Amino acid sequence: MASYRIEWKQSARKELRKLTKTIIPKVLEAVAALAENPYPGGSIKLRGSEHTYRIRVGNYRVI
C-alpha cells in the first residue's frame, strides 16, 4: 500500500504549539499514522464536505 505525505498548514503548526506538552506527542503520532492509513477505525466523515474526515486524539479533533 502506498504511503501518503503529511502536509501541515501554518495555522495547524501554530495551534499545535499551543497544546499542552503531554498531548503534543500523541497528536504527532496520530497524524504520522495517517500517512499509512488515512481512514483509520473511528474516523468520521464531516458533514458538508465530500473528502474531509476527522479523528479524535484525547479531547482534540484532527482534521
Q: Show the 3-state SS of 10-56.
A: HHHHHHHHHCCCCCHHHHHHHHHHCCCCCCCCCCEECCCCCCCEEEE
Residue 5 lies in a domain: no
Residue 52 belongs to a domain: yes
For residue range 17-39, what is the model confidence (pLDDT) as tens digits?
999 999 999 999 999 999 999 99
Can you give the pTM of this predicted structure?
0.85
Does residue 40 form part of some domain?
yes
60 three-state secondary structure:
strand
Domain hosting 54: range is 10-62
Nearest to 60 by CA among 14, 20, 9: 20
Residue 4 placed within a domain: no
Place 3 in a pLDDT band, splitting at 50, 70 and 90.
Answer: confident
Count how many domains the chain has: 1
Q: Is residue 21 part of a domain?
A: yes
Tell me if 30 is assigned to some domain. Answer: yes
Confidence band for 1, pLDDT divided at 50, 70 and 90: low
